[in-house]
Amino acid sequence: MLNQSYEPLNICRVRRAIPLLDQGKAEMLENGRGFIHTVRASFAIPSVIRLDYVVRRPRQRQRMTRLEIFNRDSYTCQYCGQESNQLTLDHVSPRHQGGQHTWENVVSACARCNRRKAGHTPKQAGMKLKRLPGPPKDSYNFNIPHKYRSTKTEWRKYLPG
């Protein structure tokens, strides 16, 4: 089941999908294999459906933990580019200068760079970020259970990446 935005939401049973299609709340994007026959009608078995409305996902953003930030930055200091497993968190715009504790303002920094930057902005410290920080790209993880991987090949093109 895809959101209106084509983002995969979940895997549901055919008997949940058919009423959604029947009531015009979803459209079928991929036909499955075969038909379901009832006394009154026959329905194509849907394999991929897209909702006609937006489902708000409660946890679209990942929790911002130290590990998630290190992960996002591939365990690399965002100033000198050195890979390390002994990183610290750095507020790009320092908290005492109004910097927020957000994905956009927190980066991984090695101890040396963190000391050098101290309570300054990168500009004040004459340092440069390797890249603009933001929420992790893979904040949306939808994995196809292993048992469907070889059988539901028509699902693949709807998955991110």
Identify which of residues 26 and 78 has a Cβ nearer to Zn ion in the complex: 78
Task: Please report whether residue 70 would count as binding Zn ion according to CB under 5 A.
Answer: no
Long-range contacts of 53-60 (CB under 8 A, 24+ apart): 53/4, 53/25, 54/3, 54/4, 54/5, 55/3, 55/4, 55/9, 57/3, 57/9, 60/139, 60/140
Residue 110 engages Zn ion in binding (rule: CB under 5 A):
yes
Closest to Zn ion by CB, 62 vs 88, is 88
Q: Does 113 bind Zn ion (CB under 5 A)?
A: yes
Of 77 and 106, the one with the shorter C-beta distance to Zn ion is 77
State the residue for tokens 């937006």.
54
Is residue 26 involved in binding Zn ion (CB under 5 A)?
A: no
Contact between 44 and Zn ion per CB under 5 A: no
Of 34-42, 66-74, 113-121, 151-159, which part binds Zn ion (CB under 5 A)?
A: 113-121
Sole binder of Zn ion in the list 2, 20, 77, 127 (CB under 5 A): 77
What is the closest distance, in whole angstroms, from the C-beta atom of residue 102 to Zn ion in the complex?
A: 21
Q: Under the criterion CB under 5 A, does residue 80 sit at the interface with Zn ion?
A: yes
79 in contact with Zn ion (CB under 5 A): yes
Compare residues 114 and 139 and give the one whose CB is closer to Zn ion: 114
Q: Which of the ranges 29-37, 59-67, 71-79, 96-104 carries the binding residues for Zn ion, by CB under 5 A?
A: 71-79
Binding site for Zn ion (CB under 5 A): 77, 79-80, 110, 113
